[in-house]
Amino acid sequence: MKSSITQGVKILATGSAVPDLCISNELISNMVDTSDEWIFNRTGIKERRISSSPTSLIDMATAASMNALNKTHINAIDLDLIILATSTPNDLFGSASQLQAKIGASKAIAFDITAACSGFVIAMVTATQFIQNGSYSNVLVVGADVLSKWTNWSDRRTCILFGDGAGAAILQSCSVLENNILGFHLNTNGQKFDQLNIQCEYSNHDKNFFSKGLKGSFKYITMHGKEVYKFAVSKVPQSIQACLGSLNLSSENIDWLLLHQANERILYAVASRLMIPSEKVISNLAKYGNTSAASIPLALNEALEDNKIQNGDLIVMSGFGAGLTWGTLIIKWYR
Ligand code: UT7
């Protein structure tokens, strides 16, 4: 999609936060019929962080946002826009406004984006549009999820996978010449929404609506793991190639492949299809598992703090998951 670009977008800083409680594979093996060996061999996960507080989504999003803001010269009051990518809000009307209040960004408009594990990429692309067309200058993008609250802890096919976390990025308008965000490519296939979802259900369906009311609630996460795995390994490389092609780049130009941290086998299968050496794959699955919208900014922030990513590096980020949605964002990194 073409847009009128008047401004560039600079990523000023990133931040992240995870809960303290660490749940190892061994601990999960005491709850369901699984083993550390199975989980690690099939997914690359060793442990994950789980939040226990009811306000954990906002607490983690706040901590990640302040972590990022504290690395910049701007204050929360300077923010024009906050986009919170989450599929696990603590309020169905949205959680971004609570984040806005908590960090004291009283001048910022704030809203949620619900796009599961593609949420951070889609939120970054959305923020980029507002900056590039000159509407806003300082934008906070957060990916945060507490999937532990929607996990069936007696279902071994899913409970081994997920963890909680938050990651943030501060974007600022800059001259087109200094632009960090080179391009994007987004897709959705709603025909397959039921391959991975948290379905809404209603009590008193069709009966006595006015006398008893119709109470909504949600089921646990359900996933057709094999199908989602095949989708990711086939569609993500296509998305990356399309995005690279639109910029006249090829996979040889990639310095870092930063995929949604769903399964280590997916990361290396996608890298192999694109002929990207494994040293260029960023992975922190072992420590956090799949943190949904948080996984990409969490891994990005860690890679930056570890000084892996250098000035001028080309980073390809791809998110994929429920919806089904998938998308790629290509960044040229400058401090
Ligand atoms: O974040 C959104 C995107 N999500 C993803 O990308 C997830 C994509 N899918 C996956 O990562 C993988 O499909 C899983 C990790 C979820 C599962 O790995 P798999 O290699 O596809 O295993 P499977 O579902 O085919 O199951 C293989 C066997 C089955 O036993 P049988 O039928 O062969 O006897 C399962 O019952 O492994 C069994 N199994 C387990 N065994 C021990 C399934 N889960 C477990 C478990 N521990 N936790």
Quick check: is 260 catalytic?
yes
Mean per-residue pLDDT, 273-302: 98
pLDDT confidence of residue 212 = 63
pLDDT confidence of residue 55 = 73
Domain spans, the chain:
7-176, 181-192+222-332
CB 325 within 8 A of CB 121: no
pLDDT band for 215, please (50, 70, 90 cuts): confident
Catalytic residue selected from 179, 180, 197, 260: 260
For the domain spanning 7-176, the CATH number is 3.40.47.10
Pairwise CA distance, residues 239 & 290, whole Å: 21
| Ligand 1 pocket by Cβ (under 6 Å) | 34, 38-39, 42-43, 117, 156-157, 160, 196, 225-226, 228-229, 232, 262-263, 266, 290, 321
Nearest CA to ligand 1 atom 12: 225
pLDDT band for 211, please (50, 70, 90 cuts): low
pLDDT confidence of residue 209 = 59
Topology alike, domains 7-176 and 181-192+222-332: yes
Share of the chain above pLDDT 90, in %: 90
Could you tell me the end-to-end alpha-carbon distance of the chain, in angstroms, rounded to an integer? 28
pLDDT band for 204, please (50, 70, 90 cuts): low
CA 224 / ligand 1 centre spacing (Å): 9
CA 198 / ligand 1 centre spacing (Å): 18
The structure tokens listed for 21 are 């409680």
Q: Where are the alpha helices (DSSP H) in the chain?
A: 25-29, 36-43, 56-69, 96-103, 119-132, 156-159, 209-212, 225-246, 264-273, 285-288, 295-305
Tell me the backbone φ, ψ of residue 151, rounded to 5 degrees. -95, 135
CB 180 within 8 A of CB 333: yes
The CATH number of 181-192+222-332, from 2.60.120.10, 3.40.47.10, 3.10.450.30, 3.40.50.720, is 3.40.47.10
Quick check: is 205 catalytic?
no
Pairwise CA distance, residues 169 & 79, whole Å: 12
pLDDT confidence of residue 13 = 97
Residue range 13-69, pLDDT digits in tens: 999 999 999 999 999 999 999 999 999 999 999 999 999 887 799 999 999 999 999
Q: Where are the alpha helices (DSSP H) in 70-177?
A: 96-103, 119-132, 156-159
Quick check: is 224 catalytic?
no
pLDDT confidence of residue 54 = 73
**Residues 6+ positions from 238 with CB-CB distance below 8 Å:** none
Q: Is the pLDDT of residue 205 over 80?
A: no
Q: Residue 171, Cβ neighbours under 10 Å: how many?
A: 25
CA 37 / ligand 1 centre spacing (Å): 13
Nearest CA to ligand 1 atom 47: 34
| Secondary structure letter of residue 194 according to DSSP | G
